[in-house]
Amino acid sequence: MNKAVKVILNILIVIASIGFFFSVILLISVIGGKNKEKEDPAETFAGVMDYEIRHRAYGEVMEDYYVRRLSHMDAPAGYEDLYRIGEYGHTAFMIRVYEEKGDTEKASALRQKTEELRGELGSYEFTADEMDEMIRNAP
Amino acid sequence: MRCDKCRHEIGPEQKRCPNCGAVNKFALQHKKNMRKFKEKYASTENEVKEYGRSVEGLGKRAAILAALLVGSIVLIIAAAIVDADPDEEAAVKRDSEKNAAAYAEEADGYLERGEYVEYVSFLYAHELMNFPPEEFDRFRSVHYVAGYYYECIKRMEIMILRSDDPEYYDGLDTDIRNFCMYVDTFYETFEAQKNSEKNEKYLGYIMDMEAELRAAMRTYLSISEEEMQEFIDSSRGLKAVRVWEVLRHE
């Protein structure tokens, strides 16, 4: 009887040892995965945005800006340029809307805001010129 | 104990009485009993030793097994804790519920300044668009109209600022289809909400959004005010054709 119990316990110990071994492997791989240098999504996105800008696809830049703003009102780290370009695009777009609506006060306030935003664009200042041109020439 | 014959004091081990020399019967019986006792003791001792040998190591094995099981469970829990990602959405919702009154005031500010796109972005960023707490009940009408106003303006910006590079696929037809769908939904919502909104201030915002959308369509889609109602009433397909022609300069 006791011999049988010993045999069963030995089998259970072997199974538990295998389980313990896999638990250790699991923990190591999880910690390893966490510490592994992950691909920075902001960096990847910057590449995508530059590609879009090279093709003057500001509509897509605007869509990225709006999508990002669904979760963050202020630019998260790495998305500052997107937010500046997006805000410039929206502001420049709305100037013509307010002018058409006859709200000169708002239009001039936005014109002033675009100047400030343009100053903040830095190396992306050319995007403001390109977006202004597209907006001016629309439709 | 005493001698049966002379009543002299006698020890249990003494075979004869030291006084009269009579045989001590008890001593003989005692000797027999002691022998039996020793035999039984030896047998029991053997049994105990035998049992001890048979269960030897069981406790140790059970302890090892228990330690392995506890260790595995601890490791799995640790791995789950390390691997768990924080639920950001839940944290945002908790924050919004906690600061609902302050956020409602901030939302009012956006409306007063006529920043309707900002207003909707603000609500989405704080998970207030789809899950508004009761502090936002007063915005209900504005809420619906602003949501579709936001989509219309956003779609127009995307269409107007689309790539002019013929090599770049910009999905213009999809954007036009979406824009036309949102224009229809905006006007359906606008008609319903402008009649149900009793608060003059909020009704003003709803009317203002409609005026801005009309101005945007006049400006960027070349739809005159005379053609506007016809455009709004037309089917989604006809709207799409009209927008397509304008954007493609056809």
pLDDT tens for each residue of chain B, 250 residues long: 788 888 888 887 788 888 888 888 788 788 888 899 999 999 999 999 988 888 888 888 889 999 999 999 999 998 888 888 777 788 888 888 889 899 999 999 999 999 999 999 999 999 888 788 888 888 888 999 999 999 999 999 999 999 888 888 878 889 999 999 999 999 999 999 999 888 888 999 999 999 999 999 999 999 999 999 999 999 999 999 999 999 887 6
In this complex, the residue of A55, A69, A139 whose CB is nearest that of residue B246 is: A139
Cα(A58)–Cα(B164) distance, integer angstroms: 10
Cα(B91)–Cα(B97) distance, integer angstroms: 10
Please give the DSSP secondary-structure letter assigned to residue B179: H
ipTM of the complex: 0.81
| CB contact (8 A) between residue A70 and residue B121 | yes
Q: How many angstroms away from the CA of B192 is the closest CA of chain A?
A: 23
Residue A52, pLDDT score: 93
Query: Which residue blocks in chain B are alpha helix, DSSP H?
Result: 25-55, 58-83, 88-98, 100-112, 116-125, 140-160, 172-196, 200-221, 225-233, 236-247
Q: Which residue has the higher pLDDT, A46 or B210?
A: B210
DSSP letter for each residue of B69-104: HHHHHHHHHHHHHHHPPP-HHHHHHHHHHHTHHHHH
Q: Which of B219, B222, B250 to mutate to test the interface with A (most CBs of A within 10 A)?
A: B219
Dmax over CA atoms of chain B, in Å, equals 153
Two structure tokens written together for B158: 């995307």
| CB contact (8 A) between residue A72 and residue B168 | no
Cα distances (angstroms) measured from residue B78 to each of A27, B66, B73, B75, B117 = 7, 18, 9, 5, 45
Cα(B132)–Cα(B122) distance, integer angstroms: 12
Two structure tokens written together for B190: 């606008």
| CB contact (8 A) between residue A69 and residue B124 | yes
A vs B: CB pairs below 8 A? 144
Nearest to residue A60, comparing CAs of A48, A42, A76?
A48
